[in-house]
Amino acid sequence: MSNIDHYENFPVASWLCPARLRPAVQALYYFARTADDIADEGHEPAHHRLDDLGEFRADLQNCFTPKGATSVRWPRIFGPLRQAIATHHLPAQPLFDLLDAFEQDVVFTRVGQGYKDRAALLDYCRRSANPVGRLMLHLYGVTDDTALAQSDAICTALQLINFWQDRAEDLRRGRDYLPEGHQLEDELRFARALMQQGAPLVHHVAGRAGWELRAMVQGGLRILDKLDRRPADIDHHRLTRPTLGKADFVPIAWRCLRM
């Protein structure tokens, strides 16, 4: 799954994440990463992966069930997650939405099974990316509708940027996330517009978390800058993955300050 590199937008080891939240953030990260690996790593056939995700879903449901059984297969995942749910009253829906997206990834394996339109792609992002932002906002006590909508815009933009950043690799693996009839240039502009739509959220997230969010927004925009500079007629199967390096730190830091 070309999904933000195992949910690296969970600030697992970041000094910017308050110490009181780190156990919960780590629990969420490893929940998402493990489910992602079940869906997308190794060589198990699709029906085995779906069976495993079904067991994973049952263990998640038990975390929200009074006196629900503890996980036998993944105790190191669901023990900390159960504690995080109890401590922070985490909502169930975002976690189940993530599992829906992982299950969809199992069957999304061939070019030709792509998305018919942008709405279908955005529905996938709603379940694969947006829950991450909503869970993080919940931990930081930000729950108003405007902030949630801005978070969804940022997370969807990051997901789309990741798709276009990894387009060559996805095509080699038999996946094409570009909606039918759409040009990559149009999708880059759409992702940028979404990111700009969500950017005001940085002013509603206080302290160090707000600065981390600024860096995520500006890092995503910087990747879009690199993608925009490529020739329109380039062979997408031969694209090299644009990445951020030391030379990008100063402009990103400056943009963060200007926000």
Q: Could you give the count of Cα atoms lying within 13 Å of 124 in the half-sphere of its Cβ?
A: 21
DSSP 69: P
Confidence class of residue 14 from pLDDT cuts 50, 70 and 90?
low
Same domain, 49 and 125: no
Query: Bigger pLDDT: 173 or 47?
Result: 47
Assess if residue 6 is contained within a domain: no
pLDDT value at position 1? Answer: 37
Domain closes at, from 37, 56, 91: 91
Assess if residue 168 is contained within a domain: yes
Assess if residue 115 is contained within a domain: yes
Same domain, 81 and 20: yes
pLDDT value at position 156? Answer: 97
pLDDT value at position 197? Answer: 98
- Over residues 31-87, the pLDDT tens digits come to 999 999 999 887 889 999 999 999 999 999 999 998 899 999 999 999 999 999 999
Q: What is the pTM of this model?
A: 0.90
What domain range includes position 41?
Answer: 13-91
Domain closes at, from 40, 66, 91: 91
Same domain, 145 and 216: yes
Domain closes at, from 62, 91, 120: 91
Query: Bigger pLDDT: 197 or 12?
Result: 197
Same domain, 180 and 74: no
How many domains, in total, are found in the chain? Answer: 2
Can you spell out the DSSP letters for 146-205? HHHHHHHHHHHHHHHHHHHHTHHHHHHTT---SPTT--HHHHHHHHHHHHHHHGGGGGTS
Assess if residue 7 is contained within a domain: no
Assess if residue 25 is contained within a domain: yes
- Over residues 150-171, the pLDDT tens digits come to 999 999 999 999 999 998 888 8
Q: What angle do CA 89, 91, 96 make, to 5 degrees?
A: 140
b/e 86-116 (16+ beta carbons within 10 angstroms → b): eebebeeebbebbbbbbbebbebeeeeeebe
CA distance 202 to 198: 8
Same domain, 223 and 124: yes
Assess if residue 29 is contained within a domain: yes
Query: For residue 9, is pLDDT > 50?
Result: no
